[in-house]
Homo-oligomer: A and B are copies of this chain.
Amino acid sequence: MRLSEAGELRLVDLLKRRFVKNARGVVLGIGDDSAVIRPRLKNMLLTTDMMVEGVHFDLGWITPFQLGYKLVSVNVSDIYAMGGHPEFMLLDFAAPGYFKQEQFDSLLKGIETALKTYKLSLIGGDISAAERLILSATVTGHTAKILRRSGANIGDFIYVTGNLGDSACGLEVLKRIGRTVMIEKNEKIDFGPGRKTVGPLVRRHLMPVARDPQRFSRRATAMIDISDGLFIDLSRLCKESGVGANIYAGKIPISEELRRTSEYLSLSPLDLAVGGGEDYELLFTAPSDIKIDAFCIGEITGGQLRVIDQKGKNKKINIKGYRHFAL
């Protein structure tokens, strides 16, 4: 059945049935003019992120399930990047009339799966029509300590929580195979260097898992999530902190899967790692005298943003070249 036949009221009923659980702190969930919660006596975090068909995704290579999962991860990542714990979510959903009820169901299943991963409750939203699929979510969270972008100090070390570039390379693979891959059902990918190599990259792009900063948040001085690419997001953190940075190219964590696949695709793994977005790893700074269990990739300076290659040559980082996303 197409959504144009189902109608708005029925979709809201469907949402109410699926998501009305009596989660802690929820006074009133989906179905009234507003949701009602009992906020905690802490700092409350609020973030929102929109995903638009044709701009942020292509249904030719992402399934509704994956899209739902990713929407939640992307928003949770912003809560994590403040050192917070995600708690509630509102969903804005707009779709063309030909979008099928099965696709809507599968999108909701993806959202539900991610909500469970992050222990988050869907409490409200808005459903409407559009010419293209549009998703937007607002996620709330709470935290005792706020980790801003602006807290980095000269001399701090710079860390990332995991491999970079995998998501961008996964996207390149998807563009080349030109179809959806049901990774959530363990579908194998017959491409280039083989399924075991390519699979994790594609998964990282389609169903990224946001990084919980719990282990680092007490010690970190500044934090941001890497959504638009290492260099762009580093430049944001440095701008807010009023500092510069030296990044050691050789220390940027690059997966074996990325090395092999980028070689097959004749792409530079380093370019993908510093310029590719959507890895949703965390980038943070911490005092240099503290032991941190993450990848140290450089240090905060009083100068510019510079990258130092493995031969010791150092070059100014020009983020314009990496600004792949401009309105």
Contacts and interface: CB of A to CB of B under 8 A. Distances in A.
A33 B41 CA distance: 21
A200 B65 CA distance: 46
Contacts of A54: 130-131
Contacts of A79: 33-34
A90 B325 CA distance: 21
Contacts of A44: 36-39
A43 interface: yes
Question: Which bucket holds chain A's interface residue count?
Answer: 35 or more
A225 B90 contact: no
Given A47-B124, A50-B94, A88-B46, A3 B36 contact: no
A327 interface: yes
B43 A124 contact: no
A240 interface: yes
Given A47-B124, A48-B125, A7 B326 contact: yes
Interface string A126-142: 11111110101010110
Contact of A34 (B36, B82, B132): B82
Nearest to A326: B7
A10 to B, nearest CB: 9
19 contacts: A8-B325, A8-B326, A8-B327, A9-B236, A27-B43, A27-B146, A28-B148, A32-B148, A33-B79, A33-B223, A35-B45, A37-B44, A38-B43, A46-B90, A47-B90, A50-B126, A55-B94, A90-B138, A95-B327
